[in-house]
């Protein structure tokens, strides 16, 4: 076997999960400031589905084959010139960076500042469910300034960011209302939700009012914004893919119109965020929620499962 090559998940055209396949590509060589990581596991995220399907082709272009995979856990096996902050042999987690894909492979070369040490108590496969949780930390603590005793509503509470938000809201002393599918209500209760509600069996007006709304869905932002109390804060990490221009326009307009603006952001964590994530895990406020683990060759099935909906936490792919 040529050790200059490696397995990676690729696609040669935009489309459904069936376009994904496991091929062989050159093993990367770390550049200055980069670390080469032997990937142990990665998770499936909504951004990868959008890229693979072609919904964001204006950003991803038409050059093929393309890669997939945003986050990762693994071991550092080599360092580029001048790389600091991690060492060969370190157990790390991280993300390849906004607008970049490629962690669905045996090896990936990553800027060292996008990697941090995984807490010793975490298995690397389970830990792959957590890098995206940096988004929940930033949304609730830094963007919304959630305080103990406040009422928090989480839309999409059983998903990758949503389940972390429920856990953190509970750990930080908020009263948490979780919206999820009926089949996932016991799951979000176990995470710490004070109220778990089937999103298909309630209208927003019946939910009451909230100090903080965290939206991971992207639709009906105007409706959920109306649920904010005076001084309330709404944070969204998504926009309506069916009406992207109108959705993004509303988010922008909310900054100058109405009593409460919608804070929107896209997570792009670096080492400080990942170190903070490790502290949340060590302090007991956060744990990985893994729905199912797939082998690398079944990455397409993992994409298909996430598109079908109903995930409890994260789908994780283990690289053999």
Quote the pLDDT of residue 218: 87
Q: What is the rounded end-to-end Cα distance, in angstroms, of the chain?
A: 16
Quote the pLDDT of residue 144: 96
Please determine, for residue 247, whether its predicted confidence score (pLDDT) is greater than 90: no
pTM of the model: 0.92
Q: How confident is the model at residue 165 (pLDDT cuts 50, 70, 90)?
A: very high
| Whole-number average pLDDT of the chain | 92
CATH class of residue range 133-264: alpha beta
| Cα–Cα dist 289/127, whole Å | 9
Structure tokens at 41: 């596991």
Query: What is the third-level CATH fold of 5-131+269-318?
Result: Quinone Oxidoreductase; Chain A, domain 1 (3.90.180)
Per-domain boundaries in the chain: 5-131+269-318, 133-264
Determine the average pLDDT of the residues in 47-73: 95
Please determine, for residue 1, whether its predicted confidence score (pLDDT) is greater than 70: no
Q: Do domains 5-131+269-318 and 133-264 have the same CATH topology?
A: no
Lowest mean pLDDT among 62-76, 136-150, 163-177, 245-259: 245-259
Residue 105 DSSP symbol:
B
Lowest mean pLDDT among 51-60, 208-217, 236-245, 309-318: 236-245
At residue 192, the 3 state secondary structure works out as coil
Q: Which is higher by pLDDT, 49 or 239?
A: 49
Could you tell me which residues come within 8 angstroms of residue 39 by beta carbon, excluding any fewer than 6 positions away? 72, 73, 74, 103, 105, 106, 107, 108, 319
């Amino acid at each position: 076997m040529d050790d200059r090559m490696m397995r990676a998940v690729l696609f040669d055209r935009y489309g459904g999960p069936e376009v994904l396949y496991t091929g062989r590509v050159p093993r990367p060589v770390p550049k200055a400031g980069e670390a080469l990581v032997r990937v142990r596991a990665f998770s499936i995220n909504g951004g990868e589905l959008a890229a693979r399907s072609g919904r964001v082709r204006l950003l991803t272009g038409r050059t093929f084959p393309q890669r997939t995979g945003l986050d990762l856990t693994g071991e550092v096996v080599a360092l580029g010139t001048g790389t600091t902050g991690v060492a060969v042999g370190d157990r790390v987690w991280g993300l390849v960076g906004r607008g970049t894909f490629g962690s669905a492979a045996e090896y990936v070369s990553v800027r060292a500042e996008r990697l941090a040490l995984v807490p010793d108590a975490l298995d690397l496969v389970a830990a792959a469910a957590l890098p995206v949780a940096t988004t929940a930390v930033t949304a609730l603590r830094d963007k919304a300034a959630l305080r103990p005793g406040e009422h928090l509503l989480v839309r999409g509470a059983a998903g990758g960011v949503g389940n972390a938000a429920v856990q953190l809201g509970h750990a930080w002393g908020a009263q948490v209302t979780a919206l999820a599918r009926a089949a996932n209500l016991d799951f979000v209760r176990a995470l710490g939700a004070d109220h778990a509600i089937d999103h298909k069996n309630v209208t927003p007006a019946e939910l009451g009012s909230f100090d903080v709304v965290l939206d991971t869905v992207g639709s009906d932002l105007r409706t959920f914004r109306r649920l904010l109390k005076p001084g309330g804060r709404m944070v969204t990490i998504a926009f309506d893919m069916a009406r992207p221009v109108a959705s993004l326009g509303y988010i922008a307009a909310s900054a100058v119109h109405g009593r409460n603006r919608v804070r929107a952001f896209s997570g792009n964590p670096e080492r400080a965020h990942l170190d903070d994530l490790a502290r949340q895990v060590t302090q007991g406020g956060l744990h990985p929620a893994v729905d199912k683990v797939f082998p690398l060759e079944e990455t397409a099935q993992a994409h298909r499962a996430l598109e079908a909906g109903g995930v409890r936490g994260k789908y994780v792919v283990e690289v053999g």
